[in-house]
Amino acid sequence: MEATVVEHALAQHHLSIVRDRQTSPPQFRHSLEQLSMLVACEATKDLELHEVRVHTPLTTAVTRRLARSIGLVPILRAGIVMVEPVLNLIPEAEVWHLGLYRDEATARPVPYYNKLPAGSPVDIALVLDPMLATGGSACMALESKQAWGARQTVLISVIAAPEGIDRVHLQFPDTPVYTCAIDGELNDDKFIVPGLGDAGDRVFNTM
């Protein structure tokens, strides 16, 4: 399965802003939020719907609403910035935070917060993390989600490296991956190049 890349002109515009090292944290957050909304629109465009008859001010109309329960699983810290824009699209979604940081020496994810409930899964879990580098964090999140038991998962990122996409697809072939850009490579420190640096630090102004 290929990753789906959002080609929207506004995605290109906001990608240019988040890649720019001179972009301030407030501008960075704002553009990352717009990118999150654009990629979430694409990732959710085929969500299952069911018919609902409503009374308009004039008559009745057969309309369609979301048929499945949705859970957002933001990976801390950088995934936090994606929550609000996706909640604006799906206000009824549950939000389950997952704390992972990447060990600087090994580039492996270290879990530090996980309150995913056992036994009350949503139908569809949207895992949110702007960066998909080695794929270690995404795979650990998807493993947690699997233990949680959501029927379907979707991984929503903003910038991805081919290595990370391949790793996710190898371990979770049924999980579609959405992103706004697939960059060329990872450097020796496992950072995406050209990338945008450390998303968490730029979002929260902790450089």
For the stretch 114-122, contacts whose Cβ atoms lie closer than 8 Å and that sit 24 or more positions apart, written own/partner, are: 114/144, 116/73, 116/144, 116/145, 116/147, 116/148, 117/148, 118/147, 118/148, 118/149, 119/149, 121/71, 121/148, 121/149, 121/150, 121/151, 122/68, 122/69, 122/70, 122/71, 122/94, 122/150
Q: Would you count residue 181 as binding ligand PRP (CB under 6 A)?
A: no
124 vs 69: CA distance, rounded Å: 6
- Within residues 53-112, the interface with ligand PRP by CB under 6 A covers 75-78, 101-102, 107, 109
DSSP conformation letters of 4-40: EE---HHHHHHHHHHH-TT--HHHHHHHHHHHHHHHH
198 given a catalytic annotation: yes
134 given a catalytic annotation: no
Question: Which of residues 47 and 101 has its CB atom nearest to ligand PRP in the complex?
Answer: 101
Q: Would you count residue 14 as binding ligand PRP (CB under 6 A)?
A: no
Q: Would you count residue 183 as binding ligand PRP (CB under 6 A)?
A: no
Question: Which of residues 121 and 164 has its CB atom nearest to ligand PRP in the complex?
Answer: 164
In Å, how far are 11, 91, 144, 190 from 85, measured between CA atoms? 14, 10, 23, 28
Q: Would you count residue 196 as binding ligand PRP (CB under 6 A)?
A: no
Question: Which of residues 68 and 113 has its CB atom nearest to ligand PRP in the complex?
Answer: 113
Contact pick of 131, 159, 182, 196 for ligand PRP (by CB under 6 A):
131
Least CB distance to ligand PRP at residue 66 (A): 27
Q: Would you count residue 199 as binding ligand PRP (CB under 6 A)?
A: yes
Q: Would you count residue 200 as binding ligand PRP (CB under 6 A)?
A: yes
Q: Which stretch binds ligand PRP (CB under 6 A): 10-18, 34-42, 57-65, 199-207?
A: 199-207
Active-site residues, by number, are 102, 106, 198, 201
